[in-house]
Structure 1
Amino acid sequence: MSEARTIGLNKGVTTTLSENYRLNFFIFMTTKSFISAGIATLLVFPALAQQNKMKPEETEVWEPEPRMVTTATDKAPSDAIVLFDGTSTDQWVSGKDGSSPAEWVVADGALTVVSGKGEIRTKGEFSDYQLHVEWKSPTEIVGEGQGRGNSGIFMQGLYEVQVLDSYNNRTYSNGQAASLYKQRIPLVNATKPPGEWQTYDIIWTAPRFNADGMLISKARVTVIHNGVLVQNNVELDGPTEYIGIPKYKAHGPGPIVLQDHGNPVSFRNIWIRPL
């Protein structure tokens, strides 16, 4: 072991070379920290000063100006396309051939399924949109599970939001009212008793495909059932399948389809706002 060298300090106090090194290192690091803090302060203060010099109007955005839309509790927004106003099926055709008149019954401001006449679909085709639909299951309770007040609303003719009497009527969870049929369970069951009018407000974002037909982004949907959020911007795995696993295939805009499932479900006040 080498002989330790000593260095005299104030009033005869001595320390080894290694101790003196540690002391100097501590002084160096402390000084460095103060310098770094000072530099940081010098950098921050000008930014704060610049922020304080800004005027409120420098962060105001005036263009584009959102267009005015008028609303009413029982009517469609002024910029909506009314798909059913309680009197006419002019916006609808039979799903059997896509051209024949819709054969469902219009009475008392409602459009009601006629069993065996098949689904109906809109003449227009859409991609992204806000859709409002009011529906009612039959007052008379007949059947159970999927056989009770069953219908469906298909986005782009392919993706179903289930319509079902789910009031005291247990069925598989991904097949009850407001489910994305066989794919997504609603957050809660907001169903009203049979015979009462119910609302669906649906925000639909269509899937995207590239020029080669490859999927870029999945479809997404938000569903509000009777004022309650039940599907929160969820992704779908593909078009609705009764049997099997959903799988995307490239497609463009599509119609809104109302399903004939053999039950006299009624609809009214249907409108859409393309987004």
Structure 2
Amino acid sequence: MACSGMKRFEGKVVIVTGGSNGIGAATARKFVAEGAYVYIADIDEEGGVKVCQELDGNASFVKCDVAIETHVKGVVDRAVEEKGHLDIMVNNAGMLHAHGNSITEVSVETWERVMAVNVTGAMLGMKHAARVMIPRNSGSILFTCSVLGLMKTENASHGYIASKNALLGLMKSGAVELAKLGIRVNAVSCLGILTKMLQEWLDEVSNGMCPKEVFEDELQRNATNGRKLTVDDVANAFLFLASDEASYINGHNLMVDGGYSVHGRDMVNFKDPPRH
């Protein structure tokens, strides 16, 4: 039995890729609040260092492009060298792109970069996390997916849709292989949240025609519970899946979308967004 007052992740070591802002930063903060030590792996050094400073010595920033294997291996090796082990790997880093929503306009260069970050980066995270988790017969590997891994909406790019579908397949194949080695692999798929990355995408795909407030109102309207999704909602899902309470959950894609995937309407009509 755990000691009274003991935090859920006391003594655990966590890596969060893409942890400098948005969902990743919220996830890092919540793990630290529950007793974990977190390594934030990201290309955004300024944002990552800022988050680490907020976490008062309970997090470290490591500059990392997840599409480069030596970077990912280096983050994992550093965690093990400094803390002795790795318990949880959150493969959260990802990217959107707005250029070429039509299949006839897709840039191969953009397509390959999206796949490199969203899919190859997650594969490398699972590969190197598993490498150090297998000897301990213990660990949790998590992926940030999307409702768009289950459906296609009019304004979502082919590259992003394909990458999120691929992530779900990667999660399932990893779950089957690693379960017998004591490692659980799961994913969280969420509705859109207007993080910095999504704001940049919104401005481009709507040609500045869709104000932030309109987009957020439309997301809230499309959730069956009528509530706006927050980064903390998604972070809470990651903490649950990584916790002992979820010890029998493996190969699962946890939907955190307020029921949006039940009906799957387009999020916003960018050509004629509603006005309030």
Q: Given the two structures, how large is their TM-score scaled by the length of structure 2?
A: 0.30
Bigger radius of gyration: 1
Structure with the bigger percentage of strand: 1
Q: Which has the higher helix share?
A: 2
Higher relative contact order (CA 8 A, sep 6+): 1
